[in-house]
Amino acid sequence: EILAAIAGFFAEGAAPKPLAGRRAVVTSGPTHEPIDPVRYIANRSSGKQGHAVAAALAALGADVTLISGPVTLADPPGVRVVRVETAAEMLAASLAAVQTPAGPADIAVCAAAVADWRVATAAGDKVKKGPDGPPTLALAENPDILATLSQPGPRRPRLVVGFAAETRDVLTYAAAKLAKKGCDWIVANDVATGTGTFGGDDNQVHLLRRDAAPEAWPRLSKTAVAQRLAQAIADTFDPSATATSEAV
Amino acid sequence: EILAAIAGFFAEGAAPKPLAGRRAVVTSGPTHEPIDPVRYIANRSSGKQGHAVAAALAALGADVTLISGPVTLADPPGVRVVRVETAAEMLAASLAAVQTPAGPADIAVCAAAVADWRVATAAGDKVKKGPDGPPTLALAENPDILATLSQPGPRRPRLVVGFAAETRDVLTYAAAKLAKKGCDWIVANDVATGTGTFGGDDNQVHLLRRDAAPEAWPRLSKTAVAQRLAQAIADTFDPSATATSEAV
């Protein structure tokens, strides 16, 4: 019994659960915006980074709901997964998961690459080639999920984290996004052609927080980026946690 | 030795190779047409039917090159696979595979769901949301791979088979496609929402041949549709093959 208690103590030490009792909602993957029943507008997000964040938060003890666009990834273990296709569906599912009768989730991480635009009027039947030449696609702006979840008030999560994927001037655009969306942190990454970030297993990010200098993280696996982000989130909710585990 | 010869005879009988020595080129999957470095226009083709056709032709002994758009399927065994993204790339790869210095391939099966249109001018950097509201996407017509491979002449494969995916009036559109493209056969299927054909494992098709009444096939797995199509192709190249194997 003493040995079991000691083993239990060290097992707990090996896998601390600083986010136990916290509820987190993570969005991940692309959205698909229909043009007609067979065609759609998509983006290159694989969902790997968002899914890894969901897994990492769950590993630290959080109760995680993952709102996932169309991806080919396995569901992360120990995570509730809600599957959606369009940005409108992702917003509805995110609001339902964040704003519960029991109060808002503690943490929202918007890692999905939500389409900025949908096709204004999706066709009910397949659009055919015709004598008038190619059609023109009129687009309409999609709802902004990150800005919506960041709106101040009693239904706002205490910590709202967004992701910014840019092909140039990454820090400039990310700082502007942080200011404009009203979220607390932005994880900014460079997805320019040749970086291999989209669909790849590695990521090189900057973490931008309100009222703090941007942190440049080294190139890491998406799993390691997620674990570091989850730990930073845990530290925010309980600043003593890291100090204690370091002291041990 | 006698036993080995008998075993060999039956093994051969169990897996006849009526297409041995024939070269086939199969296209499969969707194409992705870039809007900018992160966004693209896609369609719902999973590639399951085209990949199954490539596997079925290879199983009958054909030397198969599979030109595949972006799919999440494993490469079929015993098949040469060339990966492409856009319709323009698929056309170039198909022409290179069909029109070799040794003469044209014997069989071309165009099962890919090639995008009819691409974005007229894809952007080099990610298109940003701006004060002017959503952009409009001007489209341009893509090359027609099936029609190109069907053009009469010494470089045409002896048998060119197209696929038609429609959401309504399937037989009417398929018959028009057969007449217009100049191919020999069309495999027509209904991909309307609710049929489950796109991405699903089953398919219900009609086979249309020039100068023959359309054949309605029962609902079958995509693998079974592919095997039946490959056998029909083999029968065309050697009408005695089926009769012989039935006589045995």
Taking CA atoms, what residue in B is nearest to A70?
Answer: B44
* Euclidean distance between CA atoms A72 and A69, whole angstroms: 10
Q: Quick one: average pLDDT of A44-70?
A: 97
- ipTM higher than threshold 0.85: no
Write out chain A residues lying below 8 Å of B139, CB-based.
Answer: 134-137
Q: Which residue numbers of A have CB closer than 8 Å to B's CBs?
A: 32, 35, 37-44, 72, 113, 115-117, 120, 125-126, 128-129, 133-141, 165-168, 173, 191-193, 198
> pLDDT tens-digit profile of B78-113?
999 999 999 999 999 999 999 999 899 999 999 999
* Domain residue ranges of chain B, discontinuous segments joined by +: 18-116+138-247
Tokens linked to B88: 């323009």
Taking CA atoms, what residue in B is nearest to A131?
Answer: B141
Architecture of the domain defined by A22-118+138-241: 3-Layer(aba) Sandwich (3.40)
Write out chain A residues lying below 8 Å of B163, CB-based.
Answer: none
Residue A41 has pLDDT above 90, yes or no: yes
Write out chain A residues lying below 8 Å of B120, CB-based.
Answer: 134
Q: Tally DSSP H helices, then E strands, for chain B.
A: 7, 16
Higher pLDDT, B237 or A5: B237
Of A38, A39, A72, the CB nearest to B72: A72
Tokens linked to B208: 């249309």
Q: Categorize the per-residue pLDDT at B224 as very low, low, confident or very high, splitting at 50, 70 and 90.
A: very high
* Residue A48, min C-alpha distance to chain B (Å): 15
User: For position A123, what pLDDT does the model report?
Assistant: 83
A13 sits in the region (left: phi over 0; alpha: psi -120 to 50; else beta) called: alpha
A74-77, Cβ contacts within 8 angstroms, sequence gap of 24 or more: A76/A51, A76/A52
Residue B11 has pLDDT above 60, yes or no: no
> pLDDT tens-digit profile of A207-228?
999 988 999 999 999 999 999 9
Residue A9 has pLDDT above 80, yes or no: no
Give the angle subtended at the CA of B158 by the CAs of B94 and B106, to the nearest 5°. Answer: 55
Residue B38 to residue A141, Cβ atoms within 8 A: no
* Residue A62, min C-alpha distance to chain B (Å): 31
Output the CA–CA distances (angstroms, integers) from residue B140 to A125, B110, B121, B127, B180, in the order listed.
20, 21, 9, 19, 20
User: For position A134, what pLDDT does the model report?
Assistant: 87
Q: Quick one: average pLDDT of A179-204?
A: 83
Q: Which of A158-167, B42-51, B121-130 has the lowest mean pLDDT?
A: B121-130
> pLDDT tens-digit profile of A153-164?
999 999 999 999
Residue pair B79/B34 in contact by the 8 Å Cβ criterion: no
**Mutate which: B35, B38, B48, vs A, most A CBs within 10 A:** B38
Rounded to the nearest integer, the mean pLDDT of chain A is 88
Q: How many CB pairs under 8 A join A and B?
A: 99
* Residue B51, min C-alpha distance to chain A (Å): 18
Q: Which residue numbers of B have CB closer than 8 Å to A's CBs?
A: 32, 35, 37-44, 72, 113, 115-117, 120, 125-126, 128-129, 133-141, 165-168, 173, 191-193, 198
Q: Quick one: average pLDDT of A40-68?
A: 96
Which CATH fold topology does B18-116+138-247 show?
Rossmann fold (3.40.50)
User: For position A247, what pLDDT does the model report?
Assistant: 39
The percentage of chain B sitting over the pLDDT mark of 90, rounded to a whole number, equals: 68
Higher pLDDT, A80 or B192: A80
Residue A2 has pLDDT above 70, yes or no: no
Question: Is A203 tagged catalytic?
Answer: no
> pLDDT tens-digit profile of B130-175?
788 888 889 999 999 999 999 999 999 999 999 998 878 888 989 9
User: For position A11, what pLDDT does the model report?
Assistant: 56
